[in-house]
A = this chain, B = another copy of it.
Amino acid sequence: MSRLATLKEHGQSFWLDSLSRQMLEDGSLERRIRDQGLTGITSNPAIFAKTMGKSPHYDAPLAAALEQAAGAEGLYEALAVADVREACDLLLPVYHSSDGADGFVSLEVSPHIAYDPLATIRQARALWDEVGRPNLFIKVPGTRPGRHAVEVLLYEGINVNITLLFGVDAYRETLEAYMKAMQRRREHGRDLHSVASVASLFLSRIDVAVDRELRHRLGPDVDERIRAKARPLLGHTAIANARLAYAVLRETLASERWQALAEEGARPQRLVWASTGTKDPSYSDVHYIEPLIGPHTVSTMPEATAAAFEDHGQVAATLPADPDEATRVMDHLEQLAIDLDAVTYQLVDEGVQKFIDPYDKLLARLEERRTAAARARQASVLPGVAARLRAEVIRMTTAAGSGHPTSCLSCAELVAALFFDEMRWDPQAPEARDMDRFVLSKGHAAPILWAALKEAGAIDADLLTLRQIDSELQGHPTPAIPWVPAATGSLGQGLSVANGLALADRLDGIPARIFCLLGDGECSEGSVWEAAQFAADNGLDRVVAIVDANGLEQSGEAPYGHDTSVVAGRFRAFGWQALEVDGHDLGDLLVALERTRDGGPTAIVARTEKGKGVSFLEGAEGWHGKALDEAERDRALAEITAPEIGVRVTPRRVGGGGEPSGDAPPVPIAVDYAEGETVATRSAFGDALKKLGAQRNDLVVLDGDVKGSTKTATFEEAWPERFLEAQIAEQNMVGVALGLAASGKRPCVATFAAFLTRAYDFIRMAAHSRPPHLLICGSHAGVSIGQDGPSQMGLEDIAMMRALDGAAVLYPCDAVSAERLTEAALDHPGIVYLRTTRGKTPVIYAASETFSIGGSKTLAESPQDRLTLVAAGITVHTALEAHRRLRAQGLSTRVIDAYSVEPLDVETLQRAARETEGLLVIEDHNRHGGLGEAVAAQVGRLGRVFHLGVAGEPRSGTPEELLERHRLSATEIAREALAVAA
């Protein structure tokens, strides 16, 4: 005979305190009803949380619920209602056979509304209707507001289990609410017999709280008399409290008021002993069962307690008629200054919170499962896209006979997830700004970019023309395809470009994300970390770096193989959010991409396999940058199951951006210098920028921590919002400028001419990117900077810039020309390099003088000219002085200010070559690659070209000493001129 079943003989019902789908499915609930006399079961959010979020038993109901329910809360209710209804049906025979006295299932309202009576009433009604069973209890927390709701619900005929009761006073009010509800029903002629209610009093939690207080009074510093009083109370409060509550029930049932209701069929509101599991292991495991057996009670047990009682519980009527002993316990607590009211009050709050936490976690988990399910649906089509891209890449590169197929295969899922799911873009609108953007920093994966664009309908080109001379589809990305903001292929540059695109978006209020795909080997480039620092420090939270960590580079294993934690850790150290994912798991990938919506900057380091999807390429060395032959291609394609039909991209825009800024057409800036005044050209450049900033909203200036020297600080003072401190990181500075230019800004970067060498690869790639506008200013040119010495002298800058196809090179000699050339530079298409000088130079031009790119100024000319002095920048002044001295010595020289070094004013120089006996070019630059060679190459066939430029190692010294030593002074020019003329 079951011990549990015999509790009934003493008027106590045995309930379980945890409903789960499993016990419905495995028949254990049914068995307990049959064998152990189980007559009820309760549930609560914490209990559901234990299984609903994780157990496979919920997979099927969840899948069904996902079809209908909206949101996580709806899902929870749908699942909970289904379980409860099923349990109700199992207990319905008990309910009927007991004439509605027993056989109940409890379902709790959301813990979030525990203090909101109206919301409680609304939700209780809804759940009651939803379940639609007579043996349902709606569980309502016994907070003060909750108790108010209880009365309303009971009056309406909804069965209520008032839960989270701790104190006797709260219990008393609950009982009172029931009585009032019954009285009102009677007054309104409603049936009393059909309404049931229980009040759930919590036990072990009281002891946990009170024992904690008691233990404070057992501390080593406490008076032994107090300790002696406290010691025997351990573990005895809850039972005393319950017995006192029971005394209240007994008293009420004996009252006339109750008798009157009972006569009309009202049922007693039974007391449920809840929280009956022993928490303190030094107490018996049936500590909260054995002493509380008696009529009109329910003992609701956790599984373990029920099992313990079934094993060795003593069944006897143990609820004393007289609660004197219980009262004594309470007195002692009071003597020990333990305030049970305060304890129970706090326990109610904690109890609510104990439901809220798991409930919220459950909702979050359900939301995840909901999202994952939605994702799974989407992910079910994306593998097909990835497969199609893989197949195209292999076909393309084999047709081309070269390329990097394996580097494309590793990122097929990444590209599919971006272009066909996460990115908001419109394949029909390549020029639109208000879309998410993509930068392929690992440019050698160009084939998969072309394939994705083609698949999406964004380009028309025949993929099989890859790498053919007249195809748009080049070996590495170039802006010949309008979806490519900047040429890539030299690694480590894309993230800086992405920064620039993001900055432009921020300036224009466009909430687009910029996705940049990098390789893992590429992360060895320091420029990646310059870009990472810039993005984090400037709060570019919509930049997303995705690292395709395929673990292999040309030379073998990438520095950290497949250990994504190293690169992820570095991004974190640079202030980024970093996620590590399986780059071939589309589910993982989509969830990670979704997380980038919350802001970052975010790095997704994706563990992938190079050559993924083709058995003989996967993770294999020796395949970097190698196309398959036709037989290999066919073997590979046979392994790839690509669906016939692809997926359409839903055109989306991110909004923002408003109307184009619509600047008024620029008017010439006001230039105001007196001739002879000495002003550094760098200062004039700064002043011009400031004035141009007023006319051009698209002018954005970037500094490499030398704004006080280059004088971009002048611009910053006036237009701080369009000034960016790029710190001592010239590569990223140029890359950011290129990104800005790609978004239609008119960027200007400035640093020492010498330090532009740092960014030469970026400038080179900028030249290949053919930006609409990009002004690069190099200050502190030449040996004339003086004492700082060779490390700070720009001596290679003209050679460097001239070697870039399409770049203009300007070199003003005074403030007027500096301002005018700055102005002209901003209107000139493509890259313009402006070279400025550290020292002050006299103004030689009238403020009204105009300067065109490709022009020059002849500063002295006469029919007697025997030689032409060709100079630019600082040497214009030494040449003019030499001209004066030579004139005094009877040698007439023409002087040309060749301020436009590229394009050169060939016509004027050729005329000089014809009209004089030779040209002497003087330049403060290495004697190779500068103005001298430019003149020699372009004018040399018409006349003799002589040349003074910097040779030998310069050193510190005064500007004058250095000009003298490197033969750029007036004295040396004159000496050379006399020698040439001789």
Contact = CB atoms under 8 A, between A and B. Distances in A.
A805 interface: yes
A570 B530 CA distance: 12
A476 interface: yes
A664 interface: no
A526 to B, nearest CB: 2
Contacts of A955: 469, 474, 478, 480
Contacts of A476: 788-792
A218 B281 contact: yes
B928 A789 contact: no
Contacts of A789: 467, 474-476, 478, 489
Q: Could you say how many copies of this chain the assembly holds? A: 2
Contacts of A223: 312
Interface in A218-268: 218-224, 227, 231, 234
Contacts of A678: none
Contacts of A469: 955-958, 961-962, 965
Contact of A703 (B488, B555, B953): B555
Given A521-B727, A937-B945, A790 B768 contact: yes
Contacts of A946: 941
Contacts of A222: 285
A924 to B, nearest CB: 13
A395 interface: no
Contact of A758 (B760, B770, B961): B760
Interface stretch (A135-143, A332-340, A688-696, A796-804): A796-804
A811 interface: no
Contact of A755 (B402, B490, B936): B490
A706 interface: yes
Contacts of A308: 220
Contact of A765 (B791, B805, B926, B951): B791
A932 interface: yes
B945 A941 contact: yes
Given A940-B945, A956-B471, A402 B521 contact: no
Contacts of A559: 533, 537, 727
Contacts of A220: 277-278, 281, 285, 304, 308
A803 B800 contact: yes
Interface string A556-586: 0001000000100110111100000000000
A814 interface: no
A728 B653 CA distance: 37
Given A490-B758, A555-B706, A791-B768, A224 B937 contact: no
A603 to B, nearest CB: 12
A809 to B, nearest CB: 10
Contacts of A278: 220
Contacts of A953: 768, 770, 805-806
Given A526-B527, A526-B732, A937 B947 contact: yes
Interface in A518-542: 521-522, 524-530, 533, 537
B951 A802 contact: no
A725 B524 CA distance: 12
A692 B476 CA distance: 36
A757 interface: yes
B729 A282 contact: no
A471 B443 CA distance: 49
A436 interface: no
A221 B302 CA distance: 13
Counting chain B CB atoms within 10 Å of each CB, the highest count among A220, A469, A491, A566 belongs to A220
A80 interface: no
Given A526-B729, A555-B703, A934-B933, A805 B475 contact: no
A709 interface: yes
Nearest to A520: B728
A219 B312 contact: no
Contacts of A788: 402, 475-476, 489
Nearest to A942: B944
A252 to B, nearest CB: 35
A468 interface: yes
A770 B952 CA distance: 11
Counting chain B CB atoms within 10 Å of each CB, the highest count among A224, A758, A805 belongs to A758
A537 B558 CA distance: 12
A489 B791 contact: yes
A879 interface: no
A705 interface: yes
Contact of A570 (B573, B708, B765): B573
Nearest to A765: B791
Counting chain B CB atoms within 10 Å of each CB, the highest count among A708, A790, A953 belongs to A790
A66 B965 CA distance: 62
A281 to B, nearest CB: 5
Contacts of A526: 492, 525-530, 729, 731-732
A34 interface: no
Counting chain B CB atoms within 10 Å of each CB, the highest count among A219, A489, A529, A760 belongs to A529
A215 interface: yes
A760 B804 CA distance: 14
Contact of A796 (B471, B529, B707, B764): B764
Nearest to A709: B554
A805 B474 contact: no
A950 interface: yes
B478 A443 contact: no
A649 interface: no
A492 B792 CA distance: 14
A807 B530 CA distance: 30
Contacts of A468: 956-957
A575 to B, nearest CB: 8
A555 B725 contact: yes
A346 interface: no
Contacts of A234: 282
A22 B443 CA distance: 72
Contacts of A572: 573
Contacts of A713: 555
A215 B282 contact: yes
A937 B932 CA distance: 7
Contacts of A930: 803
A786 B625 CA distance: 14
Nearest to A728: B524
A524 B489 CA distance: 24
Contacts of A951: 805
A654 to B, nearest CB: 30
A929 B802 contact: yes
A761 B768 contact: no
B792 A489 contact: yes
A787 interface: yes
Nearest to A469: B957
A790 B940 contact: no
Interface in A649-689: none
A492 B527 CA distance: 12
A22 B117 CA distance: 64
B573 A524 contact: no
Contact of A761 (B487, B755, B929): B755
A548 interface: no
A284 B757 contact: no
A831 interface: no
A566 to B, nearest CB: 8
Nearest to A230: B282
Nearest to A522: B728
A832 to B, nearest CB: 16
Contacts of A795: 803, 805
Contacts of A277: 220
8 contacts: A469-B961, A475-B789, A764-B796, A805-B950, A928-B934, A933-B933, A933-B937, A937-B940
Given A799-B928, A803-B925, A933-B936, 18 more contacts: A215-B282, A468-B956, A476-B792, A478-B789, A478-B790, A487-B791, A490-B792, A492-B728, A521-B705, A525-B526, A555-B705, A555-B707, A555-B708, A768-B790, A796-B803, A799-B799, A799-B800, A936-B936
- List 10 A-B pairs, minimum CB-CB distance, nearest first: A526-B526, A489-B791, A469-B957, A940-B940, A573-B573, A799-B803, A929-B929, A796-B803, A933-B933, A758-B761
